[in-house]
A and B are shown apart, each in its own frame.
Chain A
């Protein structure tokens, strides 16, 4: 059974810092890995999707890497801003579009 773990559970940093969020998964047989953002009481916004054959994806200040063999992914956020405060979830896709989620990292960027 696939298990996804995110570390740390919560992170608080000053504005402007670069930061890294970590995600690990136990079964490397995945189709892709996605990083999502969830604001309080809201649904999910997809940030980046990395196919199993890829090693990284970039969108603006965000960069996600994937090491499928070791079951790890990182989300790098450059020059953090208060608006980046949210919970970040990673999820791996296995068969039939099923997503298995980690428990998330709650990020707070202090002005």
Chain B
């Protein structure tokens, strides 16, 4: 089945550091990938939609200068948390759906295993 790989799975770093998280679709092409954030015992909240070859679309309240998204190929999107602070500590999850020629595809999204980010 379709697989989405996310790396790293866990990262601990000092406040002020920038952290890059990668999301790869291993056996399908994805023109669109999604980045979610999940705080403990809460649901997933969509942060941004990553579009291959163009700028990401951010949800209301998400700082685009703090959460930099790059989607340079059909199989890779990256999320960089710039100058991370303790309040950015969270579980970040990406997802992707096979490109079907339309944004309104009913194909299920496939999720990565997530990245636990801890900022000291």
Taking Cβ atoms with an 8 Å cutoff, the residues of A that contact B are 31-32, 34, 36, 41-46, 49, 51, 89, 91, 93, 95-104
Give the shortest distance, in Å, between B7 (CB) and chain A (any CB). 12
Give the shortest distance, in Å, between B108 (CB) and chain A (any CB). 5
- Chain A residues within 8 Å of B116, by CB: 41
A94 to B4, CA, bound (A): 22
- Chain A residues within 8 Å of B95, by CB: 44, 99
- Chain B residues within 8 Å of A101, by CB: 43-45
Give the shortest distance, in Å, between B61 (CB) and chain A (any CB). 13
Number of A-B contacts (CB under 8 A): 64
A89 to B44, CA, bound (A): 9
B111 at the binding interface (Cβ < 8 Å): yes
User: Given A41-B116, A98-B49, is A46 in contact with B109 using a C-beta cutoff of 8 Å?
Assistant: yes
B26-70 vs A: 1/0 string, CB under 8 Å?
Answer: 000000101000000011111001000000000000000000000
The contact of A49 among B42, B106, B113, by CB within 8 Å, is B106
Additional A-B contacts beyond A41-B91, A49-B106 (5; CB < 8 A): A42-B114, A43-B4, A96-B49, A97-B32, A99-B95
- Chain B residues within 8 Å of A100, by CB: 46
User: Are B43's CB and A89's CB within 8 A?
Assistant: yes
B18 at the binding interface (Cβ < 8 Å): no
B84 at the binding interface (Cβ < 8 Å): no
Q: Which residue of B lies closest to A102 (CB)?
A: B43
Give the shortest distance, in Å, between A56 (CB) and chain B (any CB). 16
- Best-buried of B6, B49, B109 by chain A (most CB within 10 Å): B109
- Chain A residues within 8 Å of B21, by CB: none
A89 to B97, CA, bound (A): 18
User: Given A41-B114, A43-B114, A99-B34, is A104 in contact with B106 using a C-beta cutoff of 8 Å?
Assistant: no
User: Are B43's CB and A49's CB within 8 A?
Assistant: no
User: Are B43's CB and A97's CB within 8 A?
Assistant: no
A95 to B49, CA, bound (A): 12
User: Given A42-B113, A103-B42, is A97 in contact with B93 using a C-beta cutoff of 8 Å?
Assistant: no
Task: Please report which residues of chain B, range 90-120, place their CB below 8 angstroms from some CB of chain A when the two chains form the complex.
Answer: 91, 93, 95, 97, 103-106, 108-114, 116
